[in-house]
Amino acid sequence: MTSELTADDRIREADHRIKNHLQMVASLLALQSKQSTNAELREELDHAAHRVMAVALLHEQLQRSGERPIDIAAYLEEICRDLALSNDCEARRVQISLAVESAELPGDQAIALGLITSELVTNAIKHAHGGSPGMVAVSFEDHAGDWRLTVADRGPGLAALPAEGRSFGLSLIGRLAQKLSGAFTVVSDGFGAQFRVEFPSLSEGPPDMAVGPSPARARFTSPEPDKEAS
């Protein structure tokens, strides 16, 4: 028996180290945010920490999968759990629900999807309900042969649809959607807002790149906020 590491072992070890380093960076950004007295700077630092954490969680999935396609249900669940905790959803009285079809995507698609999800869910937690109790619903499903990510809230909706380039976050989502060869759309009415990203499935491509959908499974619902909280 040899003690030499296999190529897969070395890759897993590298993913583990990268994940730990990224988590440290995210923690430093979160700490700097808490110490800042500038509200705008705090929000930008929080967003940056969530983006870094989304990448860290991807490397955790890569460590588990051995560089195989990423389990999207598990990945998005981890992102939503982290966002619920780091944004103190219980105190905000905001609940996150997640319903994802069992699917696997290659790493480059998964990281784009994770960053988009992190951006949209963070914005919904912080801005959709104006301090009132609320729900953020995240879904990922097969839609007429394409993948569709939807992040929806039950707030009052948007006074005006966001203009392209209006914020770094929206610009980032647009660019990531383009990277996925997809489209980013916003639908808003008096019953909330829906943010959607649709992109083509790679199921027609090489077998190691992606697989089609399996039966749907609801993966995660954050704890219901304390109704007696003031």
pLDDT digits (tens, 9 = 90+) for 185-227: 988 877 788 999 999 986 544 333 334 444 444 455 555 555 4
- Of 91-95, 133-137, 191-195, 210-214, the one with minimum mean pLDDT is 210-214
Are 49 and 128 part of one and the same domain? no
Residue 1 lies in a domain: no
Taking 50 as the threshold, does the pLDDT of residue 2 lie above it? no
| Number of separate domains in the chain | 2
d(CA 138, CA 91): 20
Are 78 and 36 part of one and the same domain? no
Are 74 and 98 part of one and the same domain? yes
Are 207 and 96 part of one and the same domain? yes
Residues 50, 122 contacting (CB under 8 angstroms): yes
DSSP secondary structure code for residue 207 in this structure: T
Average predicted confidence (pLDDT) for the chain: 79
Residue 91 lies in a domain: yes
